[in-house]
C-alpha cells in the first residue's frame, strides 16, 4: 500500500513536471500580433559615404511624383505630391543647396518614386488525419484569401556632375525610403514629417559650396 | 527600482515567516521536490537599455533532490522568459554604410535558461524551509527587433550564473504540496549586437512564485 501510494505520488510529480514542460514549450516566443507595428511609417536613408557634398551646390527637382503600382505608371501632381516635393526643396535649401534656374546646370537631380504594391496571399488550415480503414487522408478545408498593400516613397538624389558615360550610369548619392503598410491612411503632414525625418537623420547631407 | 525593493522586502518577509514557524516540523522526511513557478523578470544594466520594461511573461520548472549531506540539494531548472517593449520613432544607424532607419520598433528577447542548481536548505524538515542556491548553466536567447513586418534578430547561446535566495513553504505537516518563492540575480555572457546596439554580459533579476510537489 505504501509502495503504491509512493508510486502514485511519483507519477503525480512527473505529471506536474510534464505540465510545466508543456506550458514552457507551448508558450509562443512572439508577442501578440495586436502589439505589433502595422501602420507606422518607417524612414530609411542611405548616403554615399565617399562623396563630399561640399562639391555640390545646385539641384533640380521633378515636378511630379512617379507612381508605380501593380498595373501602371502614372505621374502624380495632386496636393500631397506637391507638398512632398515642396518639403524636399525646403530641406535642401536649409542645407545650403540652391535650386538651379536656367542657364545654371544642376549638380543633383531629385526624383520621387512612389511604389504601391498589393500582395494577395492564400491560407488554409492543413490538418491531416489517419483513418484506419482508408489509410492517410487529407481533410479538405476552404482556402481563405487575404491581402495587404504597402506604399513606398523613394526620394533619390542623382549625381548629374559626376557620371559614368561609358556605362551610361548615374550615381545616386542619397536616397530615402518612406515605407508604410497602407491598411489605414497617412495624412499629408505625416508624410511631410517623414520627409523632414529623412533629412534629420542624414546630417551629412549639407553643403558650404559658394 | 521601487519594485525591486518591494521584491527584496517580500523575500525577507518570507525569511521572517520562516523563523516564526521554525518550531513546526514536517511529518515526513522529504527526498525531493519539483516546482512550477511563474517567473517575473527585471532587466538590468545594458539589458535594461535594450528592453526597459519588467516582464511577467515567464515560467520555470525545477527539480531538487536531497543529497546525503543534511540540507544540501542538487537539481535543475528549465525556464521560458520573454521581455518586450515598444519604442516609438527611434533611429538606428549603420555609420560605415551611411544607413539610418527611423521607425516605431518592437523589441523583445526570448530566453530559454537551463541550469544545474545546488542549494542549501537551512532547516529542510520544517514547514518553511529557506535556502540559498547557485545555478550554473546556459541560456538560448533570441534578440528580436521588429520594424513593420520585418524581423531582425540574433540567436545567442551563453553561460550563466544565478545566485538565489528563496523558501519552500509546505502546506501542512503531511501534505506533499507546497509553495515556493525565490529571488535571484542572473549574470550571463549573452550579448546583443543589432545595429549600433552593443550590449554584453546581460544581467537581470528574477522573482519566482509557484507551486511545489514534495516527494517523501
Read off the C-alpha cell for A109.
537631380
How do residues A28-80 score in pLDDT, each as one tens digit?
666 655 555 556 788 999 999 999 999 999 999 999 999 988 788 999 999 98
Place of cell 481563405: A144
Q: In which domain, by residue range, is B130 found? A: 2-207
Query: Is B26 inside a domain boundary?
Result: yes
Q: Contacts from B16-23 at CB under 8 Å and sequence distance 24+?
A: B17/B128, B17/B167, B17/B169, B18/B123, B18/B126, B18/B128, B18/B129, B18/B130, B18/B167, B21/B126, B21/B127, B21/B128, B22/B123, B22/B126, B22/B128
User: Taking Cα atoms as reference points, which of B114, B17, B18 lies closest to residue B63?
Assistant: B114
Instruction: With respect to residue B103, please indicate whether it lies within any of the assigned structural domains.
Output: yes
- Among residues A31, A28, A201, which one has the least CA distance to residue B146? A31
> Is residue B215 one of the residues assigned to a domain?
no
Say if B216 falls within a structural domain.
no
When pLDDT is averaged across residues B1-24 and rounded to a whole number, the result is 49
The pLDDT of residue B207 is above 60: yes
ipTM for the complex shown = 0.74
Tell me the average pLDDT across B181-203: 89
Query: What's the pLDDT band for B16 if we cut at 50, 70, 90?
Result: very low
Nearest to B59 among A20, A31, A41 (CB): A20
Mean pLDDT, chain A, whole residue set: 79
Domain assignment present for B212: no
CA distance A131 to chain B (A): 37
User: Residue A124 in contact with residue A77, Cβ under 8 Å?
Assistant: no
CA distance, residue A135 to nearest chain B CA (Å): 38
Higher pLDDT, B139 or B197: B139
pLDDT of residue B146 exceeding 60, the answer is yes
SS3 content of chain A, % helix, strand, coil (to 5): 30, 40, 35
Q: In the numeric block, which cell numbers belong to residue B57? A: 511573461
pLDDT reading at B48 higher than 70 = yes
CATH of residue B48's domain is 2.40.160.20
Q: Decide if B214 is inside a domain.
A: no
Domain ranges of chain A: 31-200
Reply yes or no on whether the pLDDT at B157 is more than 70.
yes
DSSP character at residue B174: T
| Cross-chain Cβ contact A35/B106 below 8 Å | yes
Query: Are B59 and A13 an interchain contact pair (Cβ–Cβ within 8 Å)?
Result: no
Separation of alpha carbons A20 and A14, rounded Å: 10
Q: B120 at the A interface (CB within 8 A)?
A: no
Residue showing cell 515567516 = B17
Domain count across chain B? 1
Looking at 3.30.830.10, 3.30.160.670, 3.40.190.10, 3.40.50.2300, the CATH number of the domain A31-200 comes to: 3.30.160.670
pLDDT for residue A150: 76
Dist. CA A22–CA A124, nearest whole Å: 26
Most confident of A51-60, A176-185, B188-197: A51-60
**If you average pLDDT over residues A89-107, what whole number do you get?**
95
Amino acid at each position: 500500500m505504501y509502495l503504491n501510494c509512493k508510486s502514485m505520488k511519483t507519477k503525480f510529480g512527473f505529471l506536474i513536471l510534464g505540465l510545466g514542460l508543456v506550458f514552457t514549450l507551448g508558450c509562443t516566443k512572439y508577442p501578440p500580433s495586436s502589439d505589433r507595428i502595422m501602420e507606422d511609417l518607417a524612414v530609411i536613408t542611405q548616403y554615399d559615404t565617399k562623396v563630399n557634398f561640399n562639391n555640390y551646390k545646385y539641384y533640380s527637382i521633378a515636378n511630379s511624383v512617379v507612381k508605380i503600382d501593380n498595373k501602371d505608371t502614372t505621374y502624380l501632381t495632386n496636393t500631397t505630391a506637391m507638398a512632398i516635393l515642396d518639403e524636399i526643396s525646403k530641406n535642401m535649401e536649409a542645407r545650403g543647396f540652391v535650386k538651379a534656374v536656367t542657364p545654371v546646370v544642376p549638380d543633383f537631380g531629385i526624383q520621387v518614386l512612389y511604389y504601391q504594391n498589393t500582395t494577395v496571399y492564400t491560407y488554409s488550415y492543413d490538418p491531416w488525419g489517419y483513418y484506419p480503414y482508408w489509410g492517410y487522408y487529407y481533410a479538405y478545408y476552404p482556402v481563405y484569401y487575404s491581402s495587404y498593400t504597402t506604399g513606398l516613397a523613394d526620394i533619390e538624389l542623382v549625381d548629374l556632375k559626376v557620371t559614368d558615360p561609358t556605362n551610361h550610369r548615374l550615381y545616386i548619392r542619397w536616397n530615402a525610403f518612406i515605407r508604410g503598410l497602407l491598411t489605414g491612411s497617412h495624412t499629408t503632414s505625416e508624410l511631410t514629417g517623414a520627409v523632414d525625418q529623412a533629412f534629420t537623420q542624414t546630417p551629412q547631407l549639407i553643403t558650404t559650396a559658394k | 527600482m521601487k519594485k525591486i525593493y518591494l521584491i527584496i522586502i517580500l523575500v525577507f518577509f518570507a525569511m521572517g515567516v520562516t523563523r516564526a514557524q521554525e518550531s513546526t516540523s514536517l511529518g515526513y522526511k522529504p527526498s525531493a521536490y519539483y516546482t512550477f513557478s511563474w517567473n517575473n523578470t527585471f532587466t538590468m544594466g545594458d539589458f535594461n537599455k535594450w528592453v526597459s520594461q519588467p516582464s511577467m511573461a515567464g515560467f520555470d520548472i525545477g527539480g531538487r533532490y536531497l543529497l546525503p549531506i543534511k540540507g544540501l540539494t542538487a537539481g535543475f531548472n528549465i525556464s521560458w522568459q520573454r521581455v518586450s517593449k515598444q519604442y516609438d520613432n527611434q533611429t538606428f544607424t549603420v555609420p560605415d554604410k551611411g544607413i539610418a532607419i527611423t521607425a516605431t520598433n518592437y523589441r523583445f528577447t526570448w530566453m530559454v535558461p537551463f541550469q544545474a542548481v545546488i542549494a542549501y536548505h537551512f532547516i529542510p524538515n520544517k514547514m518553511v524551509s529557506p535556502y540559498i542556491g547557485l545555478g550554473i548553466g546556459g541560456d538560448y536567447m533570441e534578440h528580436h527587433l521588429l520594424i513593420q513586418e520585418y524581423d531582425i534578430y540574433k540567436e545567442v547561446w551563453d553561460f550563466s550564473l544565478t545566485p538565489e535566495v528563496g523558501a519552500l513553504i509546505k502546506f501542512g505537516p503531511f501534505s506533499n504540496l507546497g509553495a515556493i518563492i525565490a529571488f535571484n540575480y542572473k549574470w550571463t555572457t549573452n550579448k546583443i549586437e543589432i545595429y549600433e546596439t552593443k550590449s554584453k554580459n546581460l544581467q537581470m533579476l528574477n522573482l519566482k512564485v509557484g507551486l511545489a510537489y514534495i516527494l517523501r
